[in-house]
Structure 1
């Protein structure tokens, strides 16, 4: 197993998580950026996501999460009507080392942000020209 030159996230309790951290550490070509997301850093990230106030800020946060942690986030309208933010699909792409809890907390924080800032939801819905806004 390789040992990265940074503080790593603590290992999840055996059998409770699907992150496959050991497989990631055992892969010499593995992308270890996700292991930088310690529990303390995850709390900071969640607080930062909840504080997002514009669509541009959300896009910037998506880019930073990918650049720094390798987390690829997809936000799109659901197949049915979007009456609330629950109608949006907020998905983190599968990634070795990404904790099961993190896969739940990041989308939950985004939903919380969108509930407080409906104009961001409208911008997401309009990104493909749904409303014809420019």
Structure 2
């Protein structure tokens, strides 16, 4: 599976650790789309390229990290074909995949511990979409694009 990852300054430290975790421990291909330092940046400048990579099929899933995960989710979800959400717990990550076929997870680098975010990412990347009754609901959402 191909994973695109990015952050802003508020999520930079965790992005670095999560990129290594996804590649080294989970064994997925990772494309780090920046930034390269923890200098202040605007989160939409990093959320949109990840979302576009997922939408275009260049990445199977996206991982974004900012201070709260909220700004990244708002920006990424503007890209057609993307279902992004700020996720702060493992059960939410599981349901996001199972019920919403989420393809971009947005994490809090300031309010959620790295170890919890690792478990959220693992769940997000390994949980399958249930389909069934959720197919029509996701189709209605995607029709809004």
TM-score, length of structure 2 as denominator length: 0.27
Query: Looking at both structures, which has the greater relative contact order when contacts are Cα pairs under 8 Å and sequence separation is at least 6?
Result: 1
Work out which of the two has the higher radius of gyration on C-alpha atoms and give 1 or 2: 1
Report the structure, 1 or 2, having the larger strand content. 2
